[in-house]
């Protein structure tokens, strides 16, 4: 998580896939990998604009609520949140990472259950911004009088 002066951002890791799903996973072909790379590049081209739009929404919401922006690693083809494949216990102890790669869990996506290695996540995936809004209760407003409407 990093903090901006106005907005906090958290980047949660994808949920882990279970053992049954992992057995069904297929490797990306070189053609599929290239297609995913192109989609990811196009999707990232407007990242700054999307972040600015979300930031503006959060600033509006902060007038009456406490808002966070959540970022999720998503499939560049369909936009669904990706799931992580957990490494074995021994490799986790040796590498310090619990994720060996990611996969799309959307049955309607052409990249459904295709394995994206951890080393290629940055080039083959995308990030989506989603707001998490906590409604301002009377207690919250009492604790934060600067958010009260005038």
Distance (Å, whole) CA 84 – CA 50: 25
Residues 104-142: tens digit of each pLDDT: 999 999 999 999 998 999 999 998 887 766 666 666 667
Residues 53-84: tens digit of each pLDDT: 878 877 777 776 666 767 888 999 998 989 98
Residue 87 has pLDDT above 80, yes or no: no
Please indicate, yes or no, if residue 35 is contained in any of the structural domains. Answer: yes
Phi, psi of 108 (to 5 degrees): -85, -5
Please indicate, yes or no, if residue 47 is contained in any of the structural domains. Answer: yes
Residue that has been written with the tokens 């707001």 in this structure: 131
Distance (Å, whole) CA 81 – CA 74: 4
Please indicate, yes or no, if residue 121 is contained in any of the structural domains. Answer: yes
Of 21-30, 31-40, 88-97, 127-136, the poorest mean pLDDT is in: 88-97
Q: What percent of the chain has pLDDT over 70?
A: 71
Tokens of 68: 């966070």
Please indicate, yes or no, if residue 39 is contained in any of the structural domains. Answer: yes
As for how many domains the chain has, the answer is 1
* pTM for the whole structure: 0.69
pLDDT value of residue 123: 93
Please indicate, yes or no, if residue 149 is contained in any of the structural domains. Answer: no
Tokens of 100: 């060996």
* Residue 133 lies in domain: 2-144
pLDDT value of residue 131: 72
Please indicate, yes or no, if residue 86 is contained in any of the structural domains. Answer: yes
């Amino acid at each position: 998580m990093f903090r901006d002066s106005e907005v906090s951002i958290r980047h949660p890791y994808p949920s882990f896939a279970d053992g049954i799903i992992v057995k069904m996973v297929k490797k990306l072909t070189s053609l599929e990998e290239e297609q995913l790379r192109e989609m990811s590049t196009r999707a990232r081209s407007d990242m700054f604009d999307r972040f600015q739009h979300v930031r503006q929404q959060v600033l509006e919401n902060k007038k009456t609520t406490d808002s966070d922006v959540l970022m999720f690693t998503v499939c560049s083809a369909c936009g669904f949140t990706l799931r992580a494949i957990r490494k074995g216990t021994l490799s986790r102890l040796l590498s310090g990472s619990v994720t060996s790669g990611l996969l799309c869990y959307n049955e309607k996506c052409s990249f459904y259950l295709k394995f994206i290695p951890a080393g290629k996540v940055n080039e083959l995936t995308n990030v989506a911004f989603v707001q998490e809004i906590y409604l301002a209760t009377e207690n919250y407003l009492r604790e934060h009088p600067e958010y009260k409407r005038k």
